[in-house]
Structure 1
Amino acid sequence: MSDYKVYLVHMGKAKCAVDLGDGSERGEYVDQDYILHKLGRPHRSISLMYCYYPLDKEFPGRISEVMKDADVKFQWDYPYDDYFTYKGGLEGNRDDEPFTCMRDIRRHGQDVTLTLTADPNISDEQIKAIAEDLKTFGRVFLRVNHENTGNWFSFTKRTTYQGVADFYCKFVKIVHEVAPNVQMVLCTGGIEDPNSEEIMMEKEFAQSVKDTDIWSVDKYMALHWGWPFDVALRDQKVKSYKRDRVEDTYNMTKRSYERFKVINGGVSKPMVMSEFNADGDVTGAYDQTVMVRGFCDMLKEDPEQWFSGFTFYQFRDRGRLGLEIEDPNNQNVGIEQPVMKTYRELIHDDFFKPEMKRGGEVSFPVKLRWGNSEDADGLEIPIHFYGDPHFCELTFEDESNLMIEINGKWFYKSPKAKVIDLMSAFYENRLEGAKDLTLRIFAPPASGENDLNAEDGMFNSYQTIEKLPKIRIEYEPVAL
């Protein structure tokens, strides 16, 4: 590799970021190696969904397991929300979930979005403990008590809507003081009425709009909320599902952003959609793909570019809200849906890919910085391919933790891995002749956590690369 020129490269923001939900009340967590191989690139962030009701006698048991014999007719009829339970905080430790998943996510060059439904009666000390839990995980998006104008989650049944709003503002204040690496995501109702100019419960949540770091709405262009307790049928007497027009969903979301901006005195903040999909229970598998693509096409065609990113909900689902459906015989097996191919095509569009800017030439050793998935400094090596390769692999002599990209496909190298076979980058994107490609290497933290002893350790991690790996490229089989 000594004959190759090596440059610094900066990874920045995409025009529109793509995040992915991984696990919820409807499906289990899927490890990041599997997702990376299926989709071919990392996401800006991976969204995890947990609940925190430490004042309840059943906690920290998952409520649907603790009360498995209860006569429940709706997903949210349990005493608290049926998410995985947050094992950290004042009462817990950081050796269990969600921290095991968070480390996996960050090792693979992605940020964490933690959705946390929480009892609004917990103490300030319990909130501070959660903030302390998150200090080593770099940039974290924390979404507390989402869909807060609804009536299904337990936190809305334990106080008034003003109480929900006040609790959110208190949470923001404490997190900003204790863990400034954490960005707070307000997920509220937005504008739901085409004839209204105000967001839902605007009076109650106006201060939340001002205090938060990021604005968000959840928008399902189609949704069967009766799942899994009934089946969505065309002739259902009392419908437990809906289907909206793609254009209406897009316009309502944009109007919500514009109203948030008015409430905030004309000052803009990032606007995201923290849960986005069209439910295959309602649309079927084929219209689901049409609606997802239609929304993304509207984003690309809008010259205002007001939207920061969306989270596709979710990777694997027991219902029909996933890129895969969970095999009913084995929760560790996913059945790919048609929307997987559509989604994979979308996220490899330049509009949704992070920006790469080449810097100056470097020599070794070189110290790489990982800030977050939209702010990292890596290496870029131009390579001339004389044709379509039959072998292309990297051999390492160190225990580095790396994310590697070539020909549009990303690979993960763990500290224990020595050889990374890059050939799958060419199987579906074969070279038709000679071509110049770029090999890129980034270094997210090997442990998944930052070192707070470093001067800027809450926001950055560093890894020194002593030399480049050996690269092997062959243009024909070993034996003919």
Structure 2
Amino acid sequence: MEEKIYRIHMGKAKCAVDLGDGSERGEYVNQDYILHKLGRPHRSISLMYCYYPLDKGWPGRASEVHASPDVSFAWDYPYDDYFTYKGGIGGNTEDEPFCYMRDIRAHGQDVNLTLTIDPHVSDDHLIRIAEDLKPYGRMFLRINHEATGNWFSFNKRCSYQEVADFFVRFCNILSKHAPNVSKVVCIGGIEDLSKTEMEKEKEFAQTIPAADVWSVDKYMALHWGWPYDVAERGGTSHKRDTVKNTFDMTKASFERFKFLNNGKAKPMTMAEFNADGDVTGPYEQAEMVKEFCDMIKNEKAEWFTGFTFYQFRDRGRLGLEIEDPNYQDCGIEQPVMKTYKEIIHDEWFMPEIKQEEEIKLPVKLRWGGSEDAEGIAIPIHFEKNPVFCEVTFDDDSNLMLEINGKWFYKSPKTKTVDLMSAFFEKPLNDKCDLTLKIFAPPANGLNDLSEEDGLFNSYTTLVKLPDIRVRFEPVEI
């Protein structure tokens, strides 16, 4: 009998979850590993890079080409010690961050690129960056973040007014050359609840209407002196705040941004969020993260559209894993990993998937992004908890699969995907009906710009369903 299939649509979560993957504090971790550990893709994966092409030593990483025993703070180099953006004028889009951006998109997630940039670069540099980013669909670009601070190089070489003017200049260029890129402003916002105005409001008020997304970075606890000292009681290179105060300042920032945008709201995110285990220890770190997310959910904070957990693997104590000092490709799971996994599998933080009409093959699947994608659902009846559950394809499709709340990736070279791990943590207690959901993000991570709407969508035609093998007993008894 022919299997039934239904069209499904994946839309926004009430509160989206994004994840930092690599920074000055840790290396990029591949998306297959993260997916296996956490069991679901994120709305977006955050990458952190810098672009200072006019500087001596570029494109070498600052801490390598400007290494000095006199450095005693993470940002004491001539330019920011992030990985260097290898695109731009005379650049190479086969190098970082593009190889990682393709990995992220192939795994059904959007790119969230943070880029610190020398405000003195010409429009030609910015146009080239915009052209670099055009094939990556609906992505986020956070430009010169924490711009009301004083630690990044762009703030040391320019006034706050110049930094704000640069943000607006780059936004205008992106709107013209890469309208698929959402521009993210990240400033201090309200940092004192006794004050009405935000930090550096006079200079940065213009960035609020220019941006597509508003954000603040709020660490409930942070050791900014890492790795040059150890946080101890009485020290001056760390801080700790309350969860409620962090939440209230974020909400107050949104309200001020809205006021500065003539009362009109835009998406509000926390672009970096965590409690530093260097200050709290591993147990209270997990408790604080949970308390904050419980506040979002309990308040039904629809004004708060998402947060980025900073980060997956960290050389310090800001990660779901700590990097093994003996081997950087190995992570040591922290208690916050279990807490975070529970949070992102809560309905409030999960994308909404709606089942629509029954359809027939072949079907053209549209991938607009992690918050707007069309896929299919195949109903499967289970007599009880399976012993074997797998799907086999005979094509080179690139797919994201979901069953029983767990997601899997099928690369173009993979033929069989074992789905049994979906039943290890959530075994079935009785017979039931589930659906196998299938989405098709672009295999190479790039949109086809020759398509009429290729800036925003990619398409895959599915002509055949996979062979589904479900068994409820061992092969031999």
Q: Which has the higher mean CA deviation after the structures are superposed, 247-256 or 298-307? A: 298-307
Shift in Å, 1:82? 0.3
Q: Is the 8 A contact 2:66 2:78 kept in 1?
A: no
Q: 1:132 Cα shift?
A: 0.2
Say whether residues 1:342 and 2:343 are aligned partners. no
In structure 2, the partner of 1:108 is: 107
What amino acid is aligned across from residue 162 of structure 1 in structure 2? Answer: Q
Name 1:225's counterpart in structure 2. 224
Q: What do you get for the CA RMSD once the two structures are aligned?
A: 0.7
Aligned to 1:8: 7
Match of 2:285 among 283, 288, 309: 288
**Equivalent residues, number:** 477
Aligned residue among 454, 457, 469 for 1:457: 454
* Alpha-carbon distance between aligned partners in 1 of 2:302 and 2:373, rounded to the nearest angstrom: 23
1:430 corresponds to? 427
Q: Map of 1:59-458 to 2, 5 A cutoff?
A: 59-236=58-235, 239-458=236-455
**Residue 411 of structure 1: SS of its match in structure 2?**
strand
* Superposed displacement of residue 4, structure 1: 2.4
Which AA in structure 2 matches 1:49?
Answer: M
Aligned counterparts of 1:299 and 1:69: Cα–Cα separation in 2: 44
TM-fit CA distance, 1:303: 3.5
Equivalent-residue separation in structure 2 for 1:416 and 1:450 (angstroms): 20
Check the 8 A contact 2:116/2:143 in 1, yes or no. yes
Kindly indicate whether the alpha-carbon contact (under 8 Å) linking 1:394 and 1:421 is maintained by their aligned counterparts in 2.
Answer: yes
Do 2:193 and 2:252's aligned partners in 1 also have CA atoms closer than 8 Å?
no
Deviates more, 1:60-69 or 1:406-415: 60-69
Kept in 2: contact 1:53–1:119 (CA 8 A): yes
* Aligned partners of 1:300 and 1:351 also within 8 Å: yes
Q: CA deviation at 1:325?
A: 0.1
CA distance in 1, matches of 2:460, 2:263: 41
- Cα gap change, 1:70 to 1:123, in 2 (>3 Å): farther
Letter in 2 for 1:201: K
CA contact (8 A) 2:113 2:141 kept: yes
1:70 CA drift (Å): 4.1
Q: Tell me, in whole angstroms, the C-alpha distance in 2 between the residues paired with 1:369 and 1:304.
A: 30
Give the whole-Å Cα distance in 1 for the aligned partners of 2:292 and 2:431.
Answer: 37
Shift of 1:69: 3.7
Deviations 1:76-109 (A, max 9, x none): 0000000000000012010100000000000000
More moved, 32-41 vs 58-67: 58-67
2:48 maps to 49
For 1:152, the aligned partner's letter is W
Distance 1:40 1:303, change over 3 A: closer
* Bigger Cα displacement from structure 2, 303-312 vs 265-274: 303-312
* Structure 1 residue identity aligned to 2:78: P
The 8 Å contact of residues 218 and 246 in structure 2, kept in 1 or not, is answered as yes
Residue pair 1:227, 1:319 contacting (<8 A) in 2 also: yes
* Matched residue type, 1:218: D
Equivalent position amino acid for 1:136 in 2: P
How far off its partner does 1:68 sit? 2.6
Partners of 1:4 and 1:383 within 8 A in 2: no
Distance 1:65 1:336 in 2: 29
Tell me the alpha carbon deviations over residues 21-49 of structure 1, each in whole angstroms, 9 at most, x when there is no partner. Answer: 00000000000000000000000000000
Q: Which moved more, 1:64-73 or 1:92-101?
A: 64-73
Distance 1:46 1:124 in 2: 27
1:2-31 deviations in Å (ceiling 9; x for gaps):
542100000000000000000000000000
Letter in 2 for 1:67: H
Distance 2:365 2:157 in 1: 48
CA contact (8 A) 2:139 2:181 kept: yes
- Residues in 1 aligned to 2:240 and 2:187: alpha-carbon distance in whole angstroms: 20
Q: Deviation per CA, 1:426-452: give whole Å up to 9, x if none.
A: 011111110111110000000100000
Identity, in percent, stands at 68
Q: Closer, same or farther in 2 for the Cα pair 1:432/1:105, shift >3 Å?
A: same
Normalising to structure 2: TM-score of the pair?
A: 0.99
Structure 1 alignment gaps of length 5 or more: none
CA distance in 1: counterparts of 2:175 and 2:241, whole angstroms:
37
- In the alignment, the residues of structure 2 paired with residue 246 and residue 322 of structure 1 have an alpha-carbon distance, to the nearest angstrom, of 18
Deviation, 1:114, is: 0.4
Once the 2 structures are TM-superposed, how far is the Cα of residue 304 of structure 1 from its aligned partner?
A: 4.5
In 1, the alpha carbon distance for the partners of 2:300 and 2:372 equals 25
Deviations 1:178-214 (A, max 9, x none): 0000000000010001210111011100010111101
CA distance, structure 2, for counterparts of residue 9 and residue 27 of structure 1: 37
Aligned to 1:58: 57
Question: Separation in 2 of the partners of 1:246 and 1:43?
Answer: 24
Provide the secondary structure at the position in 2 that maps to 1:149: coil
The farther-off stretch of 358-367 and 130-139 is: 358-367
- Deviation at 1:67? 2.2
* Segments of 4+ moved more than 2 angstroms: 67-70
* Secondary structure class of the residue paired with 2:13: coil
Q: Which residue of 1 aligns with 2:39?
A: 40
1:401 touches 1:445 (CA, 8 Å); kept in 2? Answer: yes
Distance 1:218 1:395 in 2: 44
Preserved contact between residue 104 and residue 448 of structure 1 (Cα < 8 Å): yes
Give the Cα–Cα distance (whole angstroms) in 1 for the partners of residues 379 and 202 of structure 2: 56
Mapped to 2, the partners of 1:70 and 1:4 lie a distance apart of 67
Alpha-carbon shift at residue 455 of structure 1 (Å)? 0.7
Letter in 2 for 1:48: L
Deviation track 1:229-280 (CA, whole Å, cap 9, x = no partner) reads 00000143xx110010000000000000000000000000000000000000
